[in-house]
Amino acid sequence: MQSTKEINAKERIIAWPRMGRIDIPLKALLVSLGAKVIIPPPNSNEALEIGVKNSIEGICLPYKLNLANYIMALNQGANTLMMFQAPGSCRLGNYTKMAQKTLKDMGYDFDMVIFDMYKSKMKQTLHAFWYVTHCLNPFKYYKGFSLGFNKFFAIDTAEKMLLKIRPREIHKGEAEALYNKWLQIIDDTNSVWAAKKLKKQVIEDFNKIEIDKEKFVPKIFLIGEFFVLLDPYTNKEIEKTLGEMGVEVQRQIMFGDWLEHVLKPSLFYKKESHRERSVRYAKDYMKRAIGGECIETIGDTVYAAKNGIDGVIHISPFSCIPEIVSQNILNKVKRNEDIPVMSLIFDEQTGRAGYITRLEAFVDLVKRKKYKKQ
């Protein structure tokens, strides 16, 4: 863990960049340890404008939005910024240092606490949380981590149920409304006992929605770069758009699932992780991970082809190096494995109309291929 400035734990007001719904579980964890937090507003055109204005042009979109999140949080009174960094050839490893320098040059005074996600995992994490809160009470850590993890799993479950039910629901918008209701309940839950029951309750509630069981619904894997997969603003609500076109989306990166693998000591992590599955399935095309989600993209596509999935949509931000590599390999994968694959690249210029037309054409192709097979 690295830090840039000593601040008394009681005076810390902590913020972190927006990524999926990490705000809900991380807030629960930090507040349980006695911290004050500020959550920057969801990504938007305003955030993008701030990020673009203060970044170098060629840097990838996640950096620009992360930087905007920091600026907005600092303007609201945050004085401690948390971020993680990862190794590999992806630029994420340099993000925090670049953002830190940019913010200092802009005149902000803050501490930046950086987790190295792949170095001694849980020990690093505990140390970082102790550092920002100075909490020594093991019961508070138990409560914070139990709340955090159970909320992560409940959000993952609600997202999966939404993706499954939305293309089949009889009354349009019902699944989305239920999802939003559960996000609020998950956010409001403050006891470990109640948090442990959330996942089951979410499934039961979604299963009450009336659906058309006979409807012809193709299944499409949504794969690619971590941030763009999890951020609906950046990916232009691709999951919702596809769901409304009658497609069941299966997103291959879920935050809780990923975090469990990254943080849990391997002794207690018994199932095959997404990374391990990807390495196994990608072996004919790629021998090792090269950073970002490159190997996951290849492995997920092969896995989809071998497991009856009807198509794959690969999404990435403009100028993302690992995904440029995987996009080139995907041409060979889709030919060899005989599965429709479409790559979409998002940047601040991406317009909605052109992107919807491409999605419609791809969904049409996938549906026709599925009809033929049947």
**Cβ–Cβ < 8 Å for 54, 98:** no
Nearer to ligand SF4, 203 or 321 (CB): 321
Q: Tell me the C-alpha distance between 287 and 12, whole Å.
A: 44
- Select from 12, 18, 27, 91 the one that contacts ligand SF4 (CB under 6 A): 91
173, 226, 228, 262, 281 from 258: Cα distances, Å: 28, 10, 15, 6, 18
- Given the complex with ligand SF4, which of 30 and 60 has the nearer CB atom? 60
Nearer to ligand SF4, 62 or 299 (CB): 62
Sign of the torsion formed by the C-alpha atoms of 339, 240, 321 and 304: negative
**Dihedral pair phi/psi, residue 143, rounded to 5°:** -65, -45
Interface region with ligand SF4, contact rule CB under 6 A, candidates 89-97, 123-131, 146-154, 191-199:
89-97
Encoded one letter per residue, x for contact with ligand SF4 by CB under 6 A and - for no contact, window 46-75 reads: --------------x-x-------------
147 vs 320, which CB is nearer to ligand SF4?
Answer: 320
Closest approach, Cβ 320 to ligand SF4, in A, equals 3
Length of the chain counted residue by residue: 374
Phi, psi angle pair for 311, to nearest 5°:
-170, 170
Quick one: 81 or 247, whose CB is closer to ligand SF4?
81
Is the Cα torsion angle 293, 103, 113, 137 positive or negative in sign?
A: negative
- Paired with 80 in beta bridges are 14, 111
Residue with tokens 């549906």: 367
Nearer CB in complex with ligand SF4: 59/309: 59
Candidates 33, 81, 90, 359: give the one binding ligand SF4 (CB under 6 A): 90
Out of 1, 48, 92, 305, name the contact with ligand SF4 by CB under 6 A.
Answer: 92
Residues between 307 and 336 that touch ligand SF4 (CB under 6 A): 317, 320-323
Helix ranges, 107-137 (H): 121-133
CB of 184 to ligand SF4, least distance (A): 30
H-type alpha helices, the chain: 23-32, 45-53, 61-75, 92-105, 121-133, 138-165, 174-188, 192-206, 226-230, 238-244, 255-263, 274-282, 294-306, 321-337, 352-373
Q: How far is the CB of 190 from ligand SF4 (least distance, A)?
A: 33
Give yes or no for a contact between 59 and 347, defined as CB atoms under 8 angstroms apart.
Answer: no
Task: State the nearest-atom distance from the C-beta of 350 to ligand SF4, in Å.
Answer: 14
- Tell me the DSSP string of 199-213: HHHHHHHHTTS-B-T
Measure the CA–CA gap between 289 and 312, rounded to whole angstroms.
20
What gap in Å lies between CA 205 and CA 71, rounded to an integer?
Answer: 38
| Contact status: 292 vs ligand SF4 (CB under 6 A) | yes
Tell me whether residue 186 or residue 254 sits nearer to ligand SF4 (CB atom): 254
Our finding on whether 229 is near ligand SF4 (CB under 6 A) is no
Asked whether 311 and 341 are in contact (CB, 8 A), the reply is yes
Verify binding: residue 20, ligand SF4, rule CB under 6 A: no
Give the nearest distance from C-beta 62 to ligand SF4 in angstroms: 5
Handedness of CA 320, 325, 326, 332 (dihedral sign): positive
Question: Does position 40 bind ligand SF4 by CB under 6 A?
Answer: no
CB of 356 to ligand SF4, least distance (A): 23
- Subset of residues 154 to 193 that bind ligand SF4, contact rule: CB under 6 A: none
Stretch that binds ligand SF4, among 3-11, 19-27, 84-92, 154-162 (CB under 6 A): 84-92
Judged by the rule CB under 6 A, the positions of this chain that interact with ligand SF4 are: 60, 62, 90-92, 225, 227, 292, 317, 320-323
